[in-house]
Amino acid sequence: MGCLVEARDLWKVYRGGVEAVRGFTGSFGPGRTAIMGPNGSGKSTLLAMLAGVLKPSRGRVLVCGRDPWGPGWAEARSLVGYAPQDPPLPRAVTALEALTVLGGLMGLPLGDARREAVHVMEELGLEGLAGVKVSRLSGGQRRRLGLAAALMGSPEVVLLDEPSSGLDPAARARLWRALGRLASGATIVFTTHDPVEAEEEAGMVVVMHRGRPLARGSPRELIERYAPRPRVRVWGSGVPRGLKPRRLLGDGAAEYEVEVERGVADVVSAYASEGVGVYRVEVARPGLREVFLELAGEELEE
């Protein structure tokens, strides 16, 4: 289960010359890959092209060796479960009926489709909504139902656009546990602007900015390569002379980068030696947020 999804020099240019994706080349294999970047970086557009929903302006997509825009398009698309941010669900039927119909369209006998729908809904904590019409679901509930739809039939490729957006912490944790059970061994690609989620849930991360990939690697590899130094934030009555902060944060706080743990003590000692009062110290382990700042030269928006 699980297969290779390839993007070869993908471009998407909208009317007016707006380049949403600019020459993306890369492959995604079994396991979880996060495409991380701020809003407007091209993440959703890229995912839609990989899913065979949005036609590239240039370049090629291959899903398990099949082109979703070529002669093997039907087979390629049948291998993919895709959950966009606003899933196109039929609104006049109940949540369970919507998933059952989808299972039927996938070729499952009616009884099997219903059993599969019940199982997926239970895994995602949606069993209480089985008899509720889609039109009466909240936005968050429809999004979770869209995730359930993407997992119907155990697809080999699962593409999820901001899957945890709008979910409370308990629902988010349940989502990732369910993915571990329902899509074990699948190729899972999800977009996120949350660096903590990317670091915790993905084995590989692609950093995107303004339509281009900036870097790719495991969270640990990216952090070690681009953000190796911890940061120390000190709140005090001033800043010692001769101690140059990386940046001033306001409210009497300054941020420093240090090479080793000893550097934390050196920073605090510099305050004490000049009689500058210190009332709070934080040591921040570098993460993917710092990686993005280093690569893009700006903060990762939330």
Q: What is the per-residue pLDDT across 18-64, written as a single tens digit (0 to 9) for each?
A: 999 999 999 999 999 999 999 889 999 999 999 999 999 999 999 99
**Over residues 112-121, mean pLDDT:** 94
pLDDT, mean of residues 197-202 = 95
Sheet containing 5-14: give its strands across.
18-28, 5-14, 58-63
Contact call for residues 156 and 79 (beta carbons, < 8 A) = yes
Sheet holding 204-209, edge to edge: 80-83, 157-161, 187-192, 31-36, 204-209, 212-217
What is the structure's pLDDT at 239? 87
The CATH superfamily holding the domain 5-225 is: P-loop containing nucleotide triphosphate hydrolases (3.40.50.300)
pLDDT band for 2, please (50, 70, 90 cuts): low
Q: Is the pLDDT of residue 302 over 60?
A: no
Per-residue pLDDT at 255: 84
CB-based burial, 30-47: b 16+ in 10 Å, e otherwise: bebbbbbbbeebbbbbbb
Q: Which of 82-96, 178-192, 228-242 has the lowest mean pLDDT?
A: 228-242
**If you average pLDDT over residues 252-257, what whole number do you get?**
84
Mean pLDDT (whole number) for 106-112: 89
Instruction: Confirm if 90 and 101 have CB atoms less than 8 A apart.
Output: yes
Banded model confidence at residue 261, pLDDT cuts 50, 70, 90: low
**Model pLDDT, residue 140:** 85
β-bridge mates for residue 278, sequence order: 236
Q: Where in the chain is the domain with CATH 3.40.50.300?
A: 5-225
| pLDDT band of 301, cuts 50, 70, 90 | low
Q: What is the pTM of this model?
A: 0.85
Instruction: Please choose, from the candidates 254, 215, 209, the residue with its C-alpha nearest in 3D space to the C-alpha of residue 235.
Output: 254
The rounded mean pLDDT for the chain is 90
